[in-house]
């Protein structure tokens, strides 16, 4: 089975794609403009990581991506990242970020280590009402998720590809839930991959198969496409009532799946209105 590393993805290209889509889809402009700032920080952090890491081995001796976090490498950049979010993020997130920053490095280490150890292995619970403490935890998870993405991609790029079973609905590298499907050109059609929500790796996956419950009866797996997003499929399952968004690169080879996914806000609204739940939300829950 094919396993595709994401380490060569270009953060600059992600930011540029976000800028293009922001002009194309006004309803997603706020999200995409904020993501531009995140992607620009991620690019700088990614470029600095080899220097910050030094001569120590990058790949954990255990071969486990979720080996203990290298706090000496991440704490100072995390402070810088929080400053970016304070300046560029929406009001409530900016306020919560400032509160976390003011708590100091010991608290930062707790937040980052908690997400690194267990993040995205289970769906994020839906929030009801204003729920102060729960909302604060969700915002802290957002910060850790956005910040640690380049770190996880850096570590996984140093690991050997995993041995894959025939079908696996979770990332074979870190056991996280899939964020997206990706259809990549192959022959006269497209080959389906799942993209990890934690480390951005992709692994080959059957075309007619639910990525949540394993349903394989085609009539129970309807696919929907909106005219506004002809290259993005909403792949639903009538058995478990979950859905996966899939970016079809055979229809738009310039798409960057994780960025195009952020713009597809109407598709999420439609899916939720029709009783489907996403397997794993993207960074902004769009």
Confidence (pLDDT) at 128: 47
Between CA 9 and CA 18 the distance in angstroms is: 14
Give the CB-side neighbour count of residue 231, counting CA atoms within 13 A: 20
Taking 90 as the threshold, does the pLDDT of residue 193 lie above it? yes
CB 115 within 8 Å of CB 144: yes
Confidence (pLDDT) at 135: 67
Taking 70 as the threshold, does the pLDDT of residue 223 lie above it? yes
Give the CB-side neighbour count of residue 233, counting CA atoms within 13 A: 20
Taking 90 as the threshold, does the pLDDT of residue 238 lie above it? yes
Q: What is the mean pLDDT of residues 264-273?
A: 95
Confidence (pLDDT) at 119: 87
Confidence (pLDDT) at 286: 87
pLDDT: is 6 or 43 the higher one?
Answer: 43
What is the average pLDDT score of the chain? Answer: 89
Taking 60 as the threshold, does the pLDDT of residue 2 lie above it? no
Taking 70 as the threshold, does the pLDDT of residue 195 lie above it? yes
Confidence (pLDDT) at 64: 84
**Nearest one of 1, 60, 2, 21 to 257, comparing CA atoms:** 21
Q: What is the mean pLDDT of residues 137-164?
A: 88
Confidence (pLDDT) at 224: 96
Which pLDDT band, with edges at 50, 70 and 90, does 134 fall under?
low
Confidence (pLDDT) at 65: 87
CB 237 within 8 Å of CB 252: no
Instruction: Copy the structure tokens of residue 191.
Output: 């080959």
Confidence (pLDDT) at 3: 47
**Nearest one of 83, 23, 73 to 48, comparing CA atoms:** 73
CB 92 within 8 Å of CB 139: yes
* CB within 8 Å of 46: residues ≥ 6 apart: 11, 150, 153, 154
CB 249 within 8 Å of CB 185: yes
Taking 60 as the threshold, does the pLDDT of residue 8 lie above it? no
Instruction: Copy the structure tokens of residue 183.
Output: 């259809």
Q: What is the mean pLDDT of residues 251-268?
A: 95
Q: Is the dihedral of CA 77, 79, 82, 88 positive or negative?
A: negative
Between CA 103 and CA 101 the distance in angstroms is: 5
The model's pTM: 0.89
């Amino acid at each position: 089975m094919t396993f595709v590393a994401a380490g060569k993805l270009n953060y600059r290209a992600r930011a540029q794609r976000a800028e293009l889509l922001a002009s194309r889809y006004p309803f997603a402009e706020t999200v995409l403009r904020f993501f531009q700032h995140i992607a620009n920080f991620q690019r700088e952090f990614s470029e600095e990581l080899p220097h910050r890491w030094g001569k120590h081995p990058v790949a954990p001796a255990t071969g486990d991506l979720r080996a203990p976090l290298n706090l000496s490498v991440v704490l100072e950049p995390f402070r810088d990242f929080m400053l970016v979010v304070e300046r560029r993020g929406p009001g409530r997130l900016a306020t919560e970020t400032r509160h976390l920053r003011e708590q100091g490095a010991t608290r930062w280490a707790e937040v980052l280590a908690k997400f690194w150890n267990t993040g995205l292995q289970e769906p994020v619970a839906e929030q009801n009402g204003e729920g102060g403490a729960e909302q604060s935890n969700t915002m802290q998870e957002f910060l850790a998720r956005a910040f640690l993405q380049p770190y996880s991609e850096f570590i996984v790029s140093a690991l050997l590809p995993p041995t894959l079973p025939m079908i696996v609905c979770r990332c074979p590298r870190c056991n996280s839930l899939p964020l997206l499907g990706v259809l990549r050109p192959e022959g006269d059609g497209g080959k389906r991959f799942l993209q990890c929500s934690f480390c951005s790796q992709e692994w080959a996956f059957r075309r007619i198969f639910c990525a949540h419950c394993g349903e394989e009866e085609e009539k129970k797996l309807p696919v929907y496409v909106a005219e506004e997003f002809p290259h993005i499929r909403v792949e639903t399952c009538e058995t478990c009532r979950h859905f996966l968004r899939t970016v079809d690169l055979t229809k738009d080879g310039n798409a960057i799946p994780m960025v195009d996914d952020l713009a597809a806000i109407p598709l999420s609204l439609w899916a939720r209105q029709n009783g489907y739940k996403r397997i794993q939300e993207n960074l902004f829950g769009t």
